[in-house]
Amino acid sequence: MSSYPIHVSNISPATTEQHLADFFTFCGKITTISFEPERHTATIHFEKPSAAKTALMLNGGTLDGAHLEVTSDVVHPDHDESQAHHGGPPEQSDKPRAGIAAEYLARGYTLSDQVLQRAIELDQKNGISNRFLSYIQSLDTKLGEKTLGPEKTISGKVQETLTSATQQARTIDEQKGISKQASDYYSRAISLPWGQKVKEFYTTTSKQVFDIHEEARRIADTHKQTGSPSTAPTAVSTATGTAAPPLDPAVHSIPVSGSAGAEIAGGVVKTTEAPTVV
């Protein structure tokens, strides 16, 4: 299987291989990590080229107090729409870069405005994955039918009468518990009164740095509303603003190559494709 590498340097002495895995898993599924702690460098291999390209966006991002330098020897292509897509929530690598940046901020990582602007420019230049657009648009129809009736969309009703539509959506959602039953952040968000702001954020490329911070706040607020245990990070690094994201129990094992730092889980780094924030 092909893998798509990126190189990371200027890594903090406090950073472990697990910290690297937690940080870069937001970009997409990682296949292997080669970490050289004595040189403060690492090479991270991703399953998809779009994940590697997203990782390059993080050049200058902060981890354990150090500003990472993220580079690549090759130019990675963007979205690979040729691979089969099996329904359900989109993979992490299919998400808009601005949305991924918002997830980083919501989990307590520090990203500069330059990194956020880079995310916006990538979305504007390369567009948004058709898989993601198809999924987020389908939520509007599916949840509209559940909350408002057959052949209804939430966005259509909001255009008709904003106040009554959002109140009706709130009431029916409370009665049926739709947002509590929803399997991911997007379907929970879009079923709530402010969900159209979420949908607009993920389907337009005319984003601003301020909008990314607003989306990060919405993601964090959804944590609190749903009482998700992921509101409390399971691992926290030593620097301010570098909380590691919580890991799902169903983890992927990542073989350790190169000279490893501290041994993790019997010689493998255990991580997961970045969790959808709920």
- Count of domains for the chain: 2
Give whole-number Cα distances, 156 to 83, 171, 202, in Å. 32, 18, 17
Find out whether 162 and 126 touch, Cβ atoms under 8 Å: no
**70 and 121 co-located in one domain:** yes
Q: Which domain holds residue 196?
A: 129-204
Per-residue pLDDT of the chain (278 residues; tens, 9 = 90+): 578 999 999 999 999 999 999 999 999 999 999 999 999 999 999 999 999 999 999 999 999 999 999 999 988 877 665 554 555 678 898 999 999 999 999 999 999 999 999 999 999 998 888 889 888 888 877 766 665 566 666 556 545 554 555 555 555 445 445 445 445 788 777 767 677 788 889 988 889 999 999 999 999 887 776 665 433 333 333 333 344 444 333 333 334 333 333 333 333 333 334 443 33
**64 and 147 co-located in one domain:** no
Q: Which two tokens stand for residue 60?
A: 């200058």
Q: Residues of 50-87 as b/e, b for ≥16 C-beta within 10 angstroms?
A: bbbbbbbbbbebbbbbbebebebeeebeebeeeeeeee
**118 and 141 co-located in one domain:** no
Where among 204, 237, 267 does a domain terminate?
204
Q: What is the CATH number of the domain that holds 29?
A: 3.30.70.330
